[in-house]
Each structure stands twice: as structure tokens, then as C-alpha cells.
Structure 1
């Protein structure tokens, strides 16, 4: 009987906690996103441009990710930790560009790159 009571208390404890505590804790560390657009010197979208991010975490560790733009020149990275770094875009025959960027927890960072 004592074991059953202990198990009931153990599994019901999360249900008895204030709900705003759980929401605040999860919202504080929801991942960030980065979205952007790559255009050429005339302002036309650049499809299939290579986009790389090299970001540094607060701990000093770095990470790199890569993607390509769609036909409208748009790219995106999701589920990013809070970090700072550089976004680079390039396409052979069009040019290259780079911008500094900061990703914050739960926020969307917007980046515009113009290849020259």
C-alpha cells in the first residue's frame, strides 16, 4: 500500500504544479530561427545560392549549417540555439556577400544578402 501511495504522489506531482511555471520555463529556451533573402546587384532574387552560417555559442563552441535558396531567393534555418556569427551566401557567376547575425531564444532573425 505504501508503494502504491508513493507512486501516485510521484506521478501526480507535475499535475499539481502551477501551469505558468511550466510554460515560462519552456518559452525561455524555445529555439530561434533565421530567415533571409538573397538578391543580385539589381535586386533580383538568386535561386540556388549556397547559404552558410557559422555561429558561436555563449560557451565558445561553434557550429556550421548550410542550405540553398529557393527560386524566390529565400532561405531558412530553424531550431537554432542562441548564438552569434556570420551568414555567407554565394553563387558562381553572381557573387558573394556576408552579414553578421545574432540568434536569440524564441526569436526570428532576418537577414538580407546582396551578391556582388
Structure 2
């Protein structure tokens, strides 16, 4: 009976390990657990990205200022264009003469009309 008792003990130990594995899988695959882990991971990644961006901005203030100025000018481009148009003198616009060799500058001559003898 010693072998039977040892086998039952091994079966009980295997059953306990399997039960622990199933409980662990159920915990890991629970939708709330997955959602919480995902939110924590995204928060950590976002925080690292934000810190990296702030550090880069502190190391390169000129680039940040230039970029901000360009974005500001782009957003206000219509107002800037209107201001520049008011300041600069108006230019007279004259049509440029055609320089292409095939462009006619005069009216074409009418084609001769053939008349039938009467």
C-alpha cells in the first residue's frame, strides 16, 4: 500500500499545481486585470515620453522658440499677408508680351473662297 499512498500524494501535488496554474491564468486573463495593466503601461510610456520631450526642449531652447514662432506665423498667415500687403506699395500689373514663336499677335487672314462659275 506504500506505492498507492505515494501515487495518491503525487496526484494530490499535481492537482494542487494545476489548480494554482489555472488560478494564475484566470487572474492574468481577467479583462479588468488586462485593462489595468494596459493603462499602467500606457501611463508609464507617456510619462517617459513627456520627460524625454521636456529634457530635449530644455537642451534646445532656440529650436523650440523658432518652431513656436513658425507655428504662430503659419496660424496667423492671413493677417500677416494683409499687413504686408498694406505696407508694400502696389505694383502695376501689365500683361507680359507673348514670346512663344507660334503665338500670333495679329488676326489671321481669311482663307480664299472658291466660287463656282455661273
Instruction: Report the TM-score range of the alignment, normalised by the length of the smaller protein.
Output: under 0.3
Q: Which has the higher strand share?
A: 1
Give the TM-score taking structure 1 as reference length. 0.26
Give the TM-score taking structure 2 as reference length. 0.26
